[in-house]
Chain A
Amino acid sequence: GQNIDQPTEMTATEGAIVQINCTYQTSGFNGLFWYQQHAGEAPTFLSYNVLDGLEEKGRFSSFLSRSKGYSYLLLKELQMKDSASYLCAVHLRGYSTLTFGKGTMLLVSP
């Protein structure tokens, strides 16, 4: 089966940097998605990593190491609106759907 682990909760201060880790054990790994979900809202796409390395997109960056089964989402210059749940999801080869971790609830305080 597949196993995807992320911390349940994290807290950080406005303006700071936070790193949310995701580790996975799967067979047939193809790529890894990060989604953001505010309370009561739909998940929204943040990033998709297929190759090893860091991909930067504004204040958000995502890193992948396929050999280590590890990814992280880096959020810089945190804002209050970044308080949300961050979902790590694995895409497996041969499947057109995603397997999600349980999500990390990030609370940004003033």
Chain B
Amino acid sequence: KAGVTQTPRYLIKTRGQQVTLSCSPISGHRSVSWYQQTPGQGLQFLFEYFSETQRNKGNFPGRFSGRQFSNSRSEMNVSTLELGDSALYLCASSPGGAVDTEAFFGQGTRLTVV
């Protein structure tokens, strides 16, 4: 079955712009989590959506937002981009409910803010 699909793979934006990233989870998975990965900080949790509702949120400013659609596809949006937002953005899908099974990661979207 198809894995987690993230689009686009690469993106270059200018400071002050906004960006939307997309994640299509594995078919049947209802939970989608978003992470930011940078060399200095590693993988940091942004938020998690389950059945179209935000279930958990990390410590990121309000410029970072997300949503999930009825087909479980999720988008995250970053407004008023800053240079420090340059990172690899990963989404992970899991069946939902308890996290006692592995989460499957997408290839990520590499965002560069110039």
A96 at the interface (CB under 8 A from B): yes
Instruction: Please state if A95 and B56 are interface contacts (CB–CB under 8 Å).
Output: yes
CB nearest to A31 among chain B residues = B100
Residues 53-110 of A at the B interface (beta carbon under 8 Å):
87, 89, 91, 95-103
Binds A, one of B41-49, B60-68, B74-82: B41-49
With a cutoff of 8 Å between Cβ atoms, the chain B residues found around residue A97 in the complex are 33, 45, 48, 56, 99
**What's the dominant secondary structure at chain A's contact region?**
strand
B103 at the interface (CB under 8 A from A): yes
Instruction: Please state if B42 and A101 are interface contacts (CB–CB under 8 Å).
Output: yes
With a cutoff of 8 Å between Cβ atoms, the chain B residues found around residue A87 in the complex are 42-43
A16 at the interface (CB under 8 A from B): no
Inter-chain contact total with CB atoms closer than 8 Å: 61
User: CB-defined interface of B103-114 with A at 8 Å, one 1/0 digit per residue?
Assistant: 111111000000
Instruction: Please state if B106 and A98 are interface contacts (CB–CB under 8 Å).
Output: no
The CA-CA distance from A91 to B97 in the complex, in Å, is: 13
Residues 37-64 of A at the B interface (beta carbon under 8 Å):
41-45, 48, 50
Q: How far is the CB of A33 from chain B (nearest CB, A)?
A: 7
Given A33-B102, A42-B90, A95-B56, CB of A100 within 8 Å of CB of B31 = no
Q: How far is the CB of A20 from chain B (nearest CB, A)?
A: 14
Instruction: Please state if B100 and A98 are interface contacts (CB–CB under 8 Å).
Output: no
Instruction: Please state if A42 and B4 are interface contacts (CB–CB under 8 Å).
Output: yes
**The residue from A45, A101, A102, A103 contacting B103, defined by CB atoms under 8 A apart:** A45
Instruction: Please state if A45 and B99 are interface contacts (CB–CB under 8 Å).
Output: no
The CA-CA distance from A96 to B94 in the complex, in Å, is: 9
15 contacts between A and B (CB under 8 A): A30-B99, A43-B90, A44-B105, A45-B102, A45-B103, A48-B100, A91-B99, A91-B100, A96-B31, A96-B96, A96-B98, A97-B48, A97-B99, A100-B43, A103-B43
- On A, residues with C-beta under 8 Å from B are 30-31, 33, 35, 41-45, 48, 50, 87, 89, 91, 95-103
**Supplied contacts A42-B107, A89-B43, 6 more A-B pairs, CB within 8 Å:** A43-B43, A45-B102, A50-B100, A96-B31, A100-B45, A103-B42
